[in-house]
Amino acid sequence: MAAMALEGMVGAAERAFGAWKDTSRLERRRLLEAWLDQVGRVREDLARFITEETGKPISLARGEVARAEATLQATVEVVATFGEQAVPYDLMAGAEGCRAVLRRFPVGPVLAITPFNFPVNLAVHKLGPALAVGCSAIWKPCPQAPRTSRLLWEAFEAARIQVAAPVHLLQLTGPDPVAAEALAKDPRIAAVSFTGSERVGRHLEQVLAGKRLLLELGGNGAVVVDEGVDAAAVARQLAPAAVAGAGQSCSKAQRIYVHRGIWEVFAPAFVAAVQALPVGDPMDSATIVGPLIDEATARRLDESLDRAASAGAQVLLRGRRDGALLPPAILSGLGESDPLQCEEVFAPITVLTPVASFDEGLDRAAATRFGLRASAYSRDQRNLRRAASILRAGGVLLNLPPTFRLDSAPFGGVQASGNGFEGPGWAMEGFTEGRLIVEGPAL
């Protein structure tokens, strides 16, 4: 994108912000409700585009669009209560008659950068809250799903026109990462919200030093399974969390540490549960595991499985790659420094590791630079409390898989997995700045 076009886009966003920032909650809520209605009108087209462009199975694509609608609905509901908090200033001696409020104000134009694995819902998680608090937004979607992104933006434009919101309130930019970086560096862009790889996130931290930067990066989700649980039931619950959607989820179950006391039951039960999930044509409504985003990615990951097997890993399950379709693979016996164990895999590959105790599992699960999601299963409440304390992650799930998510709840990571939380109310905080306003009695 030419520098002139970038300049015009940021200028338009700045003008739209000036016209939108002081609008009433009623006006902003009407816009979001209209967008929700428009998304509902095209939900099946959105799902079909997601599947055609990214390979996500159609049943999961429909689920993503439904989640996006729920996210917008939750944003609508938060608008009514967000932005003002009374502060009891008259608790201080000499402050009798004082009134105070902590009020939040929109920071300015926002740049939102979103990935391919949830091209609709993750976009709505950024754009809805930004618009809800009075920001304008420029959206740089993933290059892999242009029709999906365009349709979601067109649904917004129809809503914007319907309620007479300012022109250029939400602009859609192209896939060029160089242009996106130039936009991010523009001093008129007040905040950048990015979901994607750790590598790109760290690069943005370097080039955008001092700018408000909200990051949701990768993970390598660990699960610790204690003795005493129903091993087969836990295995069945974790199977889709490990491989659904070809495992292209930052919160997928990647590393599973299993107490030796139940290993002989859990390992075969997990293999069987994964094998039972339909693999193949993403347009088939029964399919749970479709292709990866492209053949080059599938080939690279298939080669990583070859290397792990050559290095002595035990292969519990593996199929033959067919183009971009990489069947689920389950390995055991990997060292903690193996890339399939310590990096984000983003594929239907799972590593099972037997451990001598629940505490050993917690220690090994916590020995990572990532910190997005982690899970622990136990019937012992003391063990669960210890897991919540030891597993350093933005979300710790107890007796639930790491993929378990409510879109209205906070979601985010720590350490190499990012900062801050998404979820409508928490994302709104990221797009606003607080201002304490104190009023004394008239003199």
Assess contact for 300 and 347: CB atoms under 8 A.
Answer: no
Phi, psi of 197 (to 5 degrees): -75, 155
Q: Residues near 180 by Cβ (< 8 Å), separated by ≥ 6?
A: 111, 113, 140, 173
- 216 catalytic? Reply is yes
Measured CA distances, 74 to 78, 193, 214, 377, 402 (Å): 6, 19, 20, 30, 22
Q: Which amino acid is at 24?
A: S
**Measured distance between the N- and C-terminal CA atoms of the chain, rounded to whole angstroms:** 58
Q: Which amino acid is at 80?
A: A
Number of H helices, E strands in the chain: 15, 15
Catalytic residue among 33, 53, 69, 250: 250
Catalytic residue among 33, 216, 344, 422: 216
Q: Which amino acid is at 256?
A: I
Structure tokens at 141: 């979607």
Structure tokens at 398: 């107890």
- Helices marked H in 352-423: 358-366, 381-390
Q: Residues near 93 by Cβ (< 8 Å), separated by ≥ 6?
A: none
- 250 catalytic? Reply is yes
Q: How far apart are CA 148 and CA 219, in angstroms?
A: 25
Assess contact for 55 and 324: CB atoms under 8 A.
Answer: yes
Q: Which residues are catalytic?
A: 216, 250
